[in-house]
Amino acid sequence: MSPEQFKKLKSITQMEVLFDQGIELMSRVFIFYNIKLYVLHDFFVEVWYMQTTNRIDRIIVLTTDEVMGIYENKIRLDDLI
């Protein structure tokens, strides 16, 4: 599946695909959101979940450069060894 194909899916189907085929890499908190980063095949997806409303507000496909910019401070090289 390509990023373009994934983007065309309905949100519920995107989440089913992520849970079935994706790998959760890390998470972060931003304001009221718990954001989870997944890798799916050869691309990255962020899921923005708001605990106070118990709903997913955004599912975003990210480029590698965007992931490195957002998560560079959270990636520890000694974890990769």
What pTM, to 2 d.p., does this model score?
0.85
User: Would you state the pLDDT for residue 80?
Assistant: 45
Look at residue 74 in the predicted model and tell me its pLDDT.
73
- The whole-number pLDDT of residue 75 equals 64
Q: Can you tell me whether residue 36 is helix, strand or coil?
A: strand
Q: Which residues of the chain have pLDDT under 50?
A: 77, 80-81
Residue 55 is predicted with a pLDDT of 95
- Cα distances (angstroms) measured from residue 37 to each of 3, 71, 76: 15, 9, 16
In this predicted structure, what is the pLDDT of residue 81? 43
Structural domains of the chain, count: 1
- Written as six digits, the tokens of 52 are 């106070």
Query: Which structural domain range is residue 28 located in?
Result: 3-80
